[in-house]
Structure formats: structure tokens, C-alpha cells
Amino acid sequence: MKYVLRTFKQTSPGDADAVLDGLKELRSMFGWSGIGFLTKSWSNPMGLVTMARTFDSTEEIYDHFENITDQMRAKIQKINEMSKSSWSLMLTQRKPMTNWDPQTIRDYRVLDQWFIKPKFGNLHKIIDPLIKHSESFTGMKPAISVPNSGTGSVFVSRLLKKPSEIILDDKTREAQIDFVSKYGDLIDEVNRNQTPLIFD
């Protein structure tokens, strides 16, 4: 099982590019360049800038935080000063993306995500059905990730090579309708979002 560290920066108008450049520099200091990805809102000047990195264990994440230097902290502080808010999530990847070659990640242009917020106490009830449902997608089968906190939204994530793939085909759309009809009573909210992928 793998773990994903996602960092989110809510930017002020006009600061998104500077925050993005700062995160690229920070990732270089971490030794993360070429590992994982960043995203930036297409058109919202106050949109989120994010970065993601996958780890093989929680111990590896712990070691990362233990090895942050004063220089790295100064860079983080500088980025945060350009951000209206900042937060990170540690996610457990219950199912990875499948039916694709990770070596071709730079061929993909769009991160397509569903954020599925279960009703209180129902998180564990929707994980296995979501994993099964993910196999109904045409092409890449999305990853299913859950917050380590045990609360919050489930992340359903896939990569697209072109924006036109955002439109679901009939097979995938029908499977989604079937999933909602069976498990909709367990779900409080569903949001879908696309952002361009950025690699360093």
C-alpha cells in the first residue's frame, strides 16, 4: 500500500505563478523534482496550487519531515506568505491507478478528480464499492485514496491525455448512475474537478 502527501496553497490574485515557482524550487530542495506532480487552476486567479508525492510507507513520510532543514523551512515560510491559506493531507492509497504505464506520466495533461464526502460514519462502507466501481472506467482506472485522519472526502483520481477525455463515455456514465442509485444514501456530497498537470 502506498501513501500520498498532497499540499494545497490557496493563492491571492496574481500570486499563483509565484507560488507555483516557489513550490518547484522547494521540491528541488526536497529532491522531489521529477517525482509526482503539481497542479494549478486553469482560470481562477485565486485557485489552488497543489503538489503531490507518493511514498512507500508512513515511515518514509515521517523521515521526510524529520529531515527538513532551516533553509527549507524559510522557503516554506516565503511560499506561505504569498498564500491566503495552506494545508496538507496524508492519504492512504487504497487502490492505485491501473491500466496505464506510469513511465508515460508526462504524456498526461489533466488531473481529473472526484471528491466524495460520505455521511458521518459511512467512510468504510463506500471504499470497497468505490474500488469495484473504478474498474468500470474506460481507459485508465482511477486511484482511490482516503485521508489518514479517517474523516473527510475520498479522492477518486485519474489522469487524462487531453481535455476532451473529461466527457465520460456512455459505459462509464451508466456505471456512475448505477453506483449512485446503490450507495447515494451513504454520501453527503460529490464534487468533480479538473486541473492541468505540471511536471518539474
DSSP string, 104-157: GGGG--EEEEEEEEEPTT-HHHHHHHHHHHHTTSSSSBPEEEEETTS-SPEEEE
pLDDT for residue 21: 97
Residue 131's pLDDT band, with cuts at 50, 70 and 90, is very high
Say which residues have a Cβ less than 8 Å from residue 97's Cβ, sequence separation at least 6. 140, 141, 142, 143, 157, 158, 159
Mean pLDDT of the chain: 94
Mean pLDDT, residues 63-82 taken together: 97
Query: For residue 46, is pLDDT > 70?
Result: no
CATH top-level class of 2-91: alpha beta
Full-model pTM: 0.92
Instruction: Please tell me if the domain spanning 2-91 has the same topology as the one spanning 98-193.
Output: yes
CATH top-level class of 98-193: alpha beta
The domain ranges of the chain are: 2-91, 98-193
Mean pLDDT, residues 32-51 taken together: 88
pLDDT for residue 45: 65
How far is Cα 161 from Cα 101, in angstroms, rounded to an integer?
13
pLDDT for residue 13: 86
pLDDT for residue 100: 94
- Exposed/middle/buried for residue 38 (C-beta within 10 Å: 0-12, 13-18, 19+): buried
Number of H helices, E strands in the chain: 5, 8
